[in-house]
């Protein structure tokens, strides 16, 4: 009974959204939810991890695995601002389309970002907003 209460509590801690059910159904069969959510991986990193889990026997449809990748990237992932398209920057980091385009233009003009702090140099991007998202920004 205590296990069920603990699981229900952890499940409630996960953000709502498409893919949450698949994470609960598939990932938690082998892993504690805090293990699943502790790594801030890029979308490519999540794809590799999910592929590895599939190779190890995780059972789900391609649609469920894709939903898991999208869910984990959005809620517990990182966005590589040096490789991502504007749409991925906007959705992954919660920036507006205009802010994401400004990041793309700055990157095109000045080259790759070296750290998340470099994004504070992008005209039209609020430094406080960038700092709030720093744990979800990857620069590879």
Beta bridge pairs of residue 94: none
CB distance 78 to 99 below 8 Å: no
Is the pLDDT at 1 greater than 80? The verdict is: no
Q: How many domains does the chain have?
A: 2
Same domain as 72, residue 27: yes
What are the E-state strand segments in 67-130? Answer: 79-80
Question: Which of 14, 66, 8 has its CA nearest to residue 36?
Answer: 14
For residues 39 and 42, what is the distance between their CA atoms, to the nearest angstrom? Answer: 9
Question: pTM for this structure?
Answer: 0.70
Write down which residue in 25, 57, 77 finishes a domain.
77
Read off the pLDDT of residues 8-41 as tens digits, 9 standing for 90 and up: 444 558 999 999 999 999 988 888 888 887 777 8
Write down which residue in 33, 62, 77 finishes a domain.
77
Question: Which of 15, 98, 60, 52 has its CA nearest to residue 89?
Answer: 98
Read off the pLDDT of residues 104-139 as tens digits, 9 standing for 90 and up: 999 999 999 999 999 999 999 999 999 999 999 999
Range of the domain at 47: 2-77
Same domain as 39, residue 73: yes
Write down which residue in 77, 95, 123 finishes a domain.
77
């Amino acid at each position: 009974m205590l296990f069920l209460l603990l699981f229900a509590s952890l499940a409630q801690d996960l953000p709502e959204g498409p893919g949450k059910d698949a994470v609960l159904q598939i990932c938690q069969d082998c892993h504690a939810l805090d293990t699943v959510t502790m790594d801030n991986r890029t979308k490519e990193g999540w794809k590799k991890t999910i592929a590895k889990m599939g190779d190890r026997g995780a059972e789900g449809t391609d649609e469920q695995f894709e939903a898991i990748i999208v869910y984990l990237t959005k809620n517990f992932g990182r966005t590589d601002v040096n490789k991502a398209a504007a749409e991925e920057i906007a959705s992954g980091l919660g920036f507006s389309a205009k802010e994401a385009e400004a990041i793309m233009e700055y990157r095109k003009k000045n080259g790759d970002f070296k750290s998340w702090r470099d994004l504070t140099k992008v005209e039209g991007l609020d430094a406080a907003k960038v700092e709030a998202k720093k744990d979800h920004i990857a620069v590879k």
